[in-house]
Amino acid sequence: MLITSTAFQQNGYIPSKYTCDGINHNPPLTFSKVPENAQSLVLIVEDPDAPSKVFTHWLIYNMPPSTLQILENQVPSNSAQGMTDFGKAGYGGPCPPSGTHRYFFKLFALGTRLNLPNGVSKEDVQEAMKAYILESTEIVGLYEKKE
């Protein structure tokens, strides 16, 4: 399984357009080689370099396994979004207080759909999906806040 973006390369810088310094839209993402037996996809975007904890920037679950891309500023139809550490569902772009941070866009193929409502926490999603992960992949983008 593979996740890529036309906005940034692996370990490359995320354009400011997709951050709190820009219009804060999600970058476009493309998925390929999803396992044939997948029943749903989960996307978790997080910053492990945040000062107090791993900071959740975006959480989408129950994406149809046929989802091949997420376009800029869009959420795949028939998907659910969970709570981010910004206190809301939906994408919240990179916005580090200082220095360069890494942003992990993690894609999981699951052998089930999760029986969860919209707006649950990352911990709820991770607990519900842990026994059903078929495959996972990630792309890492970097961002340094402008002064």
The C-alpha atoms of residue 30 and residue 9 are separated, in whole angstroms, by: 12
- C-alpha distances in Å from residue 136, one per residue of 38, 99, 107, 118: 11, 28, 6, 22
What's the CATH code of the domain at 34?
3.90.280.10
Which domain covers residue 69, as residue numbers?
2-144
**pLDDT 10s digit of each residue in the chain, 147 long?**
999 999 999 999 999 999 999 999 999 999 999 999 999 999 999 999 999 999 999 999 999 999 999 999 999 999 999 999 999 999 999 999 999 999 999 999 999 999 999 999 999 999 999 999 999 999 999 999 876
**What's the number of domains the chain is made of?**
1
Segment holding 128, helix H or strand E = helix 122-129
Query: For residue 18, how far is the Cα from the chain centroid?
Result: 13
